Amino acid sequence: MTTADRLTMSLGEAMFTQRAIRRLKPDPIPEDVMRDLMEAAIRAPNGGNTQQWHFIVVKDDEKRKQIGELYHEAWWAKRKDQGIMGPEDIPPGKNSTRSAMRLANEFGDAPVMVLICALSKGGSGGIIPAAQNLLLAARSHGIGGTIATLHAVVDERVKKLLNIPETAEIVYCMPLGYPRGEFGSVTRKPLNEVCGLDTWDNPYK
Ligand SMILES: Cc1cc2nc3c(=O)[nH]c(=O)nc-3n(C[C@H](O)[C@H](O)[C@H](O)COP(=O)(O)O)c2cc1C
């Protein structure tokens, strides 16, 4: 049986229920399942099929712990860039920010993290479809996660920890695991607010 055969959830269900899952169980992801996720990731479209990407599946306990600490530092560095100095500065109602803050506290407990890197700096756009392929395959296997980014303050230390070449760019650092909650449907603005027909300002109805 191939990876393609094992990803049996309908594409519609996967796309419409693939939410950011930030509360993860510590249970390990079986190796054959993890391999399916990575096989799906590397099938993604990419510029000229030059595959300017490199992935690192991090399972090692000590490395996950260190990445968890570095992610926490990166998350708060990003908030400080926005003038948010601590939890008290997060505006009420900003539930996704609070949920992301919780993830920053628990990041190191994710059973697997996947670092998605571009082979050269400025190449981040070319790896985005791979990240989405990975998340859709994860959804099909009942595994949750989210795209997450680091910050320049920690990049060098993460590179040293994982032997990432200086010339590469860490684009995403994705925690993965079985969800503690439910997947549920994705909420987005209606199509006619974000899509035009023939011109920008003619709502696509
Ligand atoms: C480029 C990009 C960067 C993101 N960075 C983070 C992040 O650092 N931390 C995090 O918790 N979520 C991150 N997210 C997840 C988004 O917050 C999430 O996709 C968005 O809130 C929609 O959530 P939903 O799909 O559950 O509706 C990122 C998403 C994208 C596309």
User: Where do the domains of the chain lie, and which CATH numbers do they carry?
Assistant: 3-194 (3.40.109.10)
Taking the CA atoms of residue 25, residue 33, residue 3 and residue 35 in that order, the dihedral angle to the nearest 10 degrees is: 110
List pLDDT tens digits, range 15-59: 999 999 999 999 999 999 999 999 999 999 999 999 999 999 999
CB 53 within 8 A of CB 117: yes
Structure tokens at 27: 């249970």
Specify the pTM: 0.96
Protein residue with its CA nearest to atom 1 in ligand 1 = 147
Question: Is 164 in a helix, a strand, or coil?
Answer: coil
* Sign of the dihedral defined by the CA atoms of residues 137, 141, 147, 148, in that order: negative
Q: How far is the CA of 1 from the centre of ligand 1 (A)?
A: 33
Quote the pLDDT of residue 94.
Answer: 83
CA distance linking residue 127 with residue 56, whole number of Å: 13
Q: How far is the CA of 149 from the centre of ligand 1 (A)?
A: 9
127-143 b/e (C-beta count within 10 Å ≥ 16 → b) = bbebbbbbbbbbbbbeb
Cβ < 6 A, ligand 1 pocket = 19-20, 22, 96, 100, 103, 146-149, 186-187
Q: What is the mean pLDDT of residues 194-198?
A: 98
